[in-house]
Amino acid sequence: MSCNPLMQYARPNEGKESITCLLCRHYCKLKEGQVGVCGVNQNVGGSLKNLVYGHPAALNVDPIEKKPLYHMLPGSRVLSFGTVGCNFKCPFCQNWDISQTKSVNEETEVAPEKMVALAKHYECSAIAYTYNEPTIFYPYAKDVGLLAKAEGMKNIFVSNGFETPEIIEDMACWVDAANIDLKSWDASYYKKVLKGGLDAVKDTLKRMVDAGIWVEVTTLIVPGDNDDDASLEAMAHFIAESLGRHVPWHLSAFHPDYKMQEKEHTPIETLLRAKRIGEAAGLYYLYLGNVPIDSTTYCPECHAALIERSGYCVVANRLKESHCPECGREIEGIWH
């Protein structure tokens, strides 16, 4: 699929001296000089200016398992970067120091060409747009991603899933995989606490799967907020029935951070209960995160251990050309 080089990230509002940002589903209407909810996209002369373009706030080489992506190029390294700003206001954000600020350090500048050169230098298989919400720096991410794709690298979005349909359609030509947060099954919680929208995230997930982007879902399980059986069952059935039983579900433990310092850590028993709920819903691949516990990929057919991990390290990979060596079942994912 070829990309549209003339993709517009905003549209003018008829009869008004304003534009509508098309990056995320807030669809911020911006008058001259105004910035959106994210704090980093501004109306400048009737066009959308991405204030963080070329200015990463965090940049690291990570194992791909840290994204987390367990069904894509296991054991490989990815160049990960993010900027400042976010379109959500999650009180438990682990990267709040960059996501919840709008202060851009313009002294740090990394052009798309330099970013790809860094990825090649560190022998990375992919570039991950992560740490803060990549949708808000989509123009920068896409320019990096197209160059990376031309060099044979993959592109990964780690996102809250609030992309617009316009952006998802554009992503299909250059984004290979995404890990999307499904933070709750409570629409009111999404709106009032996170400042996002549950229906929008569900729609994004379905659109990404339909677009051929490899999707893995992560739910950070916060005690007392989203750990009840009804919510977990609803999320599990949504993934199984609307996305596909093959879509991996990462169940991650919460630890106190940002504005939720008084909340308790997620008990391992809660994660195991959530995993059982996912299994009952028919999901093939369930993984626990932020806890020292089994994260092996098993064959859904014969239950053979296929990919064994210790933390973020792959200690054994028994896949044979994407198939189970015991029963021959093809294992879903991106393996080369």
pLDDT tens digits for 184-233? 999 999 999 999 999 999 999 999 999 999 999 999 999 999 999 999 99
pLDDT tens sequence for the chain (336 residues): 677 777 899 999 987 789 999 999 999 999 999 999 999 999 999 999 999 999 999 999 999 999 999 999 999 999 999 999 999 999 999 899 999 999 999 999 999 999 999 999 999 999 999 999 999 999 999 999 999 999 999 999 999 999 999 999 999 999 999 999 999 999 999 999 999 999 999 999 999 999 999 999 999 999 999 999 999 999 999 999 999 999 999 999 998 888 888 888 999 999 999 999 999 999 999 999 999 887 999 999 999 999 999 989 999 999 999 999 999 999 999 999
Domains identified in the chain and CATH numbers = 10-49 (no CATH), 58-295 (3.20.20.70), 296-336 (no CATH)
**Vertex 226, ends 178 and 204: CA angle to 5°?**
30
Task: Report yes or no: 133 and 86 within 8 Å, Cβ to Cβ.
Answer: yes
pLDDT tens digits for 225-261? 999 999 999 999 999 999 999 999 999 999 888 888 8
Print the SS3 string covering 83-95. CCCCCCCCCCCCC
Residue 116 to residue 146: CA distance in whole angstroms = 10
CA proximity to 278, closest of 246, 243, 237:
237
- Entry pTM: 0.97
CA proximity to 46, closest of 90, 2, 10:
10
**pLDDT for the residue numbered 224:** 93
Which helix or strand (DSSP H or E) is residue 165 part of? helix 165-171
